């Protein structure tokens, strides 16, 4: 196996890429590139880069409007969450509290998991699960 292989990015279709971009930049310290536009395909996107080099692509096209999430609290097959490590339990508690105060839904309060992680799970503005861990 080639040791240069790494995950380049995760991509999310979005109803409103400005709102989603601002969420990840504001709460998770991401840095966004300039908005990319392909007018012929009616496609727009942002790449958001985080410390350590991981990237998230947020994309929008007017013909992509539905979601496979019938209910935000229901688990389903496929990509289930994005995870951000904040380094400390206090940071997890503080960010989770800030997100709740700012009106975001917490679907799993900060807790110690059976495998030893300290984490919470919140929903981003479009209902994607975001795991916040220490």
38-49 tens-digit pLDDT: 999 999 999 999
The domains of the chain, with CATH numbers, are: 8-63 (3.10.180.10), 78-134 (3.10.180.10)
Write down the pLDDT at residue 79.
Answer: 79
Write down the pLDDT at residue 7.
Answer: 83
User: Residue 10 belongs to what H/E stretch?
Assistant: strand 10-13
Write down the pLDDT at residue 41.
Answer: 94
Q: CA-to-CA distance for 61 and 66, rounded, in angstroms?
A: 11
Mean pLDDT of the chain: 91
Write down the pLDDT at residue 39.
Answer: 95
Write down the pLDDT at residue 73.
Answer: 58
- Residues of the chain short of pLDDT 70, as ranges, are 1-2, 67-77
Q: CA-to-CA distance for 101 and 78, rounded, in angstroms?
A: 30
Write down the pLDDT at residue 80.
Answer: 84
Write down the pLDDT at residue 92.
Answer: 97
In three-state secondary structure terms, 20 is helix
Q: CA-to-CA distance for 80 and 59, rounded, in angstroms?
A: 18
């Amino acid at each position: 196996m080639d040791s240069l292989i790494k995950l380049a990015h995760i991509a999310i279709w979005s109803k409103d890429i400005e709102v989603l971009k601002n969420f990840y930049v504001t709460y998770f310290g991401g840095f966004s590139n300039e908005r990319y536009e392909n007018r012929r395909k009616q496609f727009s996107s942002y790449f958001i880069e985080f410390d350590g080099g991981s990237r998230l692509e947020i994309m929008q096209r007017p013909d992509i409007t539905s979601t496979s999430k019938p209910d935000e609290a229901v688990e389903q097959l496929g990509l289930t969450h994005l995870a951000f490590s904040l380094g400390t339990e206090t940071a997890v508690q503080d960010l989770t509290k800030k997100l709740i105060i700012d009106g975001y839904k917490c679907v799993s309060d900060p807790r110690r998991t059976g495998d030893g992680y300290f984490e919470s799970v919140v929903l981003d503005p479009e209902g994607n699960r975001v795991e916040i861990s220490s």
